[in-house]
Amino acid sequence: MRLIFATHNKNKLIEIRQIMSDVASEIVGKDELGIDFEPEENGKSFAENSEIKATAIREYMKSHHMLADDDIIMADDSGLCVDWLHGGPGIFSSRYLGEDTSYAVKNQHIIDKLKYAEGDERAAHFTCDICAAFADGRVFHTEGIFPGIIAYKPAGENGFGYDPILYLPEFHKTSAELSAEEKNSISHRGKALREMRRLLQHIRESDAEISKRVAPLEDKPRRKRVLVVSDSHRKDDNLKKVIDMVRPIDIMIHLGDVEGSEDSLRQYAGNDVSCYFVQGNNDYFSDLPRELEITLGNKKCFLTHGHNYGVSMDVSILADEARTRGCDVAFFGHTHRPFQHEVNGVMCVNPGSISYPRQVDRRPSFMLIEILDNGELFYSQAYYKES
């Protein structure tokens, strides 16, 4: 499998080679293939921009007969988000104050803008979204965040861009004072790349399993698959298409605000799929249970819509409730935003909304879980895209 990274930034290529070398037979930059096409990054979020870059290069390669069946085109979009600047410069990081302005000037400008900011008000982070566009049309994303605070003066010679002004209190250094290895181990891009590496390995395994399954002589038991969705609000088209897309599934979990479609969805999923629905705040006069506890693999899971636990503000009350019940995982919906984080020892998971997404990129989302042989759960956040 060949991995083509759609960047002209040599620093990124070095990092990706260090982290991905064992999942791809070849890792090349688009420049090394002689591709000088530069897609316009006109998205409204890091995820939109990385997908624009990766898919545009894939289409370019396809139209120039350069694309092999197992090629993966990868692109990232990253930037510095400063709380005091309302998340800026964000997706405009490289264009901030003009492409040709030196980082010495950009960095000093940010420090000057924060002259009245103290303590937590100086919080900032690098964000990185990586998109992998497969030759067969599939698209996957991972994200990494690298938090710190804006330094009072630039320091350090390593790294690039805004590294000299992101101060990391626990290291007493700026990002530019870390060695390349130290930075890769904790950086936004390092985290997103390692997550992507894990995801690619998983996809490769499940693709191999699918091709084995279609081979008539093989009859190995497959891993159980769980589809987790929420907040369909009686707009069921996307959900039905997703069910067809991810079949075979063994379990479907709906985390509320199904608004009366539960019977038709149960029927659509089929008799061999065990369905669990819980009530949402819009499921008036519903007989569905308000909450459920089920076991997936070796994990005890708490299922709730989440509105009674204030999940729109913070998931810690939900995590505490799940922990009190002896649950390892808390599944919730309500916010219409995908979320997966371990909080107080409980994995808190929200698949987002399949019908009315509210996260920045507004992509209908769902989660697919595989129950591994050792009972652990393998989570894949996925997005529905009209084809």
List of residues contacting ligand ITT (CB under 6 A): 7-9, 12, 76-80, 93-94, 126, 159-163, 187, 189
C-beta closer to ligand ITT: residue 185 or 211: 185
- Residue listed under structure tokens 């070849």: 26
C-beta closer to ligand ITT: residue 9 or 316: 9
**3-state helix vs strand vs coil in the chain, percent to 5:** 30, 25, 40
Kindly name the residue from 22, 71, 76, 77 that is annotated as catalytic. 77
**Cα 341 off chain centre by:** 11
State how far the Cα of 338 lies from the Cα of 350, in Å rounded to an integer.
5
Query: Annotated catalytic, 77?
Result: yes
C-beta closer to ligand ITT: residue 163 or 259: 163
> Smallest gap, in angstroms, from Cβ of residue 64 to ligand ITT?
19
State how far the Cα of 238 lies from the Cα of 217, in Å rounded to an integer.
34
**Cα 226 off chain centre by:** 18
What value, to the nearest 5°, has the Cα angle with vertex 254 and ends 235 and 199?
100
Contact of 174 with 155, CB cutoff 8 Å: yes
DSSP string, 114-135: TTT--GGGGEEEEEEEEEEEET
What sign does the CA torsion over 293, 296, 298, 303 have?
Answer: negative
How far is the CA of 154 from the CAs of 102, 302, 314, in angstroms?
A: 13, 47, 34
State how far the Cα of 57 lies from the Cα of 48, in Å rounded to an integer.
14
Residue-wise over 253-287: b if at least 16 C-beta within 10 A, else e? bbbbbbbebbeebbebbeeebebbbbbbebbeebe
Two structure tokens written together for 367: 């989660």
Q: How many residues does the chain have?
A: 387
> Smallest gap, in angstroms, from Cβ of residue 38 to ligand ITT?
8
3-class DSSP assignment, residue 180: helix
C-beta closer to ligand ITT: residue 189 or 337: 189
3-class DSSP assignment, residue 194: helix
Q: How far apart are the first and last CA of the chain?
A: 25
Residue with smallest beta-carbon separation from ligand ITT:
161
> Smallest gap, in angstroms, from Cβ of residue 185 to ligand ITT?
13
C-beta closer to ligand ITT: residue 161 or 364: 161
> Smallest gap, in angstroms, from Cβ of residue 188 to ligand ITT?
7
> Smallest gap, in angstroms, from Cβ of residue 79 to ligand ITT?
4
Contact of 327 with 300, CB cutoff 8 Å: yes
C-beta closer to ligand ITT: residue 103 or 332: 103
> Smallest gap, in angstroms, from Cβ of residue 224 to ligand ITT?
38
C-beta closer to ligand ITT: residue 55 or 187: 187
> Smallest gap, in angstroms, from Cβ of residue 6 to ligand ITT?
7
Residues involved in catalysis:
77
